[in-house]
Amino acid sequence: MAPTSSSLASFAVRQAVDEATCAASARAILDTLAVIAAGHREDPVTRVASALRYANGGDAMPSLGGEGAYRQEDAALVYGTASHALDYDDVCMLAICHPSAPVVAALLAAAPWDDLTGPALCEAHAIGTEVMIRIGQAVGFRHYELGFHSTATMGVFGATAAVARLRGLDTETTATALAIAASLSSGLRLNFGTMVKPLHVGIAAANALRAVAWASADVEASHGDLFAAGGVLEAFSGGTQRTWPESLSLGAPFAIARPGFEQKRYPCCYMLHKIIALGIEASTAGLRLGDVARLRIEMPRGGTRPLIYPRPVSGREAMFSAPYTLLVALNEGNVGFASFTDDAVARQHIRSRFEDVTVEEVGDDLRTAAQVGEAPVCLELQLKDGSVRRFERHAAPGSPGDPLSSTELRAKWVDCLARARAVAETGGTDQAAAALYDEGLDRLRAGNLAPWLNAVWNQFGCASDTLHNGVLG
């Protein structure tokens, strides 16, 4: 049944979250913490942070990097920007968004860590991502087509619901916070390809904290139904979707439980994931780059749109390059952070083969981004001996059809924390990071998070001895 503002608020503060959903949230939270760590010294984060002031007081939250403490909304801004700085955070094609990034960023900044328990964080994450995704589904694909960035515009609703849940707000205050969030919803795709894309996530997370703070300070907002005609859906769909679709409900099941989110396996554009998997498959099948004369990739219509660097010259460009990632996958049987340094991209034995790769879109136009995501990608290798080998991939690595295993999630975590340590030039080992992963899985299912979160932050440069009860002294 279509929710009203008030039933949405009720869902946010009261809905029970089942065990399987909480378990999925625990894995998504760990995945998001990993990419926050990996992204915490990227330019968008350091530049945004340089415009902030440090704060003090009982609710100040640790910065990333250990230099000081921030007001909660500023901490959310920085955590959120870091979470999306490498575009390595999870995805949900139901609403074409990155669901965990804004929600986790807001939650991490929303409460002093001493009071934070794993189950409370998981429940709030499940609630927040569900609210975000279902509003995104309700507003429809037209929203994205018009130029809005759903992760930002819908993220503020999800992050607000999540923070309301974590703080234990009542239904009325939560409804007010969601109504205020509606007036803070922003973010345009025209800023894609710039530092403002990750900043969008930070803004959404920070705005969620502002919405909750104002609602808690008795700022009065609309008591009407935000999702009726004349409301959120009409404005943000350009008038094509005026009310909530009757068929769409919340939490039955949670989207994170079914179909599940898409977690990136490789630190680059999601549309490269099948290509990389095909390259690795060919390598595993014993094919070597030296044996191959020509490589041809077939993608669905629209699939190549983000792959804008056929001849990359930097690590950042290579993250959106089909020829580069395919050649590396075939040549090395793997793709990771090390593949996306400027030095790696400069390697002559890879660059010299760019001209041998062709990428083509085939087939009919597809209606939705989800359909583009589901359509197969093919790799055809013409060998020097004249033979042809063909590989096909339906499910993207990390998608619900081929989800990351526990081992792969753990490896991604270790890899991300290693990158974080490297850029922060701190100590710590992969073994310590791996142990933190296992501890995190336990604590997120049952336990207090403070000592563990402090230890994670410590891994990437926030000296834990400046933390006192989860708050910087």
Distance CA 250, CA 137 (A): 11
Cβ contact 68:472 at 8 Å: yes
Q: What 3-state DSSP class applies to 380?
A: strand
Q: How far is the CB of 182 from a copy of itself (least distance, A)?
A: 5
The 177-206 contact track toward a copy of itself, x by CB under 8 A, reads: --xx-xxxxxxxxxx-xxxx--xx--x---
Number of residues that bind a copy of itself (CB under 8 A): 56
Note whether 266 and 397 are within 8 A (CB).
yes
Length of the chain: 473
Nearer to a copy of itself, 209 or 280 (CB): 209
Our finding on whether 9 is near a copy of itself (CB under 8 A) is no
Cα separation, 42 vs 51, in Å, equals 15
The least distance separating a copy of itself from the CB of residue 227, rounded to whole angstroms, comes to: 10
Site for a copy of itself in 124-163 (CB under 8 A): 145-149, 152
Shortest CB 24 distance to a copy of itself, Å: 30
Does 71 bind a copy of itself (CB under 8 A)? Our answer is: yes
What percent of the chain is helix, strand and coil (3-state, nearest 5)?
55, 10, 35
296: which strand partners? 358, 380
Residues sharing a CB contact under 8 Å with residue 175, sequence separation 6 or more, in sequence order = 5, 6, 8, 9, 223
- Contact indicator for 2, 244 with CB cutoff of 8 Å: yes
Q: Does 222 bind a copy of itself (CB under 8 A)?
A: yes
Of 105, 106, 226, 329, the one binding a copy of itself by CB under 8 A: 226
Measured from the CB atom, the residue of 83 and 454 that comes closer to a copy of itself is 83
Query: CA 82 → CA 43, 44, 207, 220, 418, distances in Å?
Result: 9, 8, 16, 32, 16
Pick 167 or 274: Cβ nearer a copy of itself: 167
8 A C-beta contact, residue 69 and residue 60: yes
Q: Nearer to a copy of itself by C-beta: 238 or 336? A: 238
Interaction of residue 224 with a copy of itself, rule CB under 8 A: yes
Phi, psi torsion values for 70, nearest 5 degrees: -120, 155
Contact between 312 and a copy of itself per CB under 8 A: no
Q: Cβ of residue 153: shortest distance to a copy of itself, in angstroms?
A: 9
Residue 26 vs 184, nearer CB to a copy of itself: 184
Among 21, 150, 173, 237, binds a copy of itself (CB under 8 A): 237
Q: How far is the CB of 46 from a copy of itself (least distance, A)?
A: 9
Coil, strand or helix at 472: strand
Given 78, 97, 169, 221, the residue binding a copy of itself (CB under 8 A)? 221
Per CB under 8 A, the list member of 16, 19, 58, 217 interacting with a copy of itself is: 217
Q: Round to whole Å and give the CA distance between 291 and 21.
A: 47
Nearest residue (CB) to a copy of itself, 56 versus 429:
56
- The yes or no reply on residue 232 touching a copy of itself (CB under 8 A) is yes
Q: To the nearest whole angstrom, how small is the minimum distance from the Cβ of residue 226 to a copy of itself? A: 6
Per CB under 8 A, which of residues 262..301 are in contact with a copy of itself? none
According to DSSP H, which parts of 168-231 are helical?
171-182, 196-216
Site for a copy of itself in 316-335 (CB under 8 A): none
- C-beta of 198 vs 398, nearer to a copy of itself: 198
8 Å CB contact between 121 and 24: no
- Residue 6 as a binder of a copy of itself (CB under 8 A): the answer is no
> Residue 370's closest CA among 259, 204, 247?
259
Q: Report the DSSP beta bridge partners of residue 393.
A: 377
Paired sense of beta strands 69-70 and 292-300, if any? unpaired
Nearer to a copy of itself, 64 or 449 (CB): 64
Binders in 30-49 for a copy of itself, by CB under 8 A: 43-44, 47-48
Question: Which listed residue (39, 231, 251, 470) binds a copy of itself by CB under 8 A?
Answer: 231
Which positions lie near a copy of itself, rule CB under 8 A? 43-44, 47-48, 50-51, 53, 55, 57, 71, 145-149, 152, 179-180, 182-191, 193-196, 199-200, 203, 213-214, 216-224, 226, 230-232, 234-235, 237-240
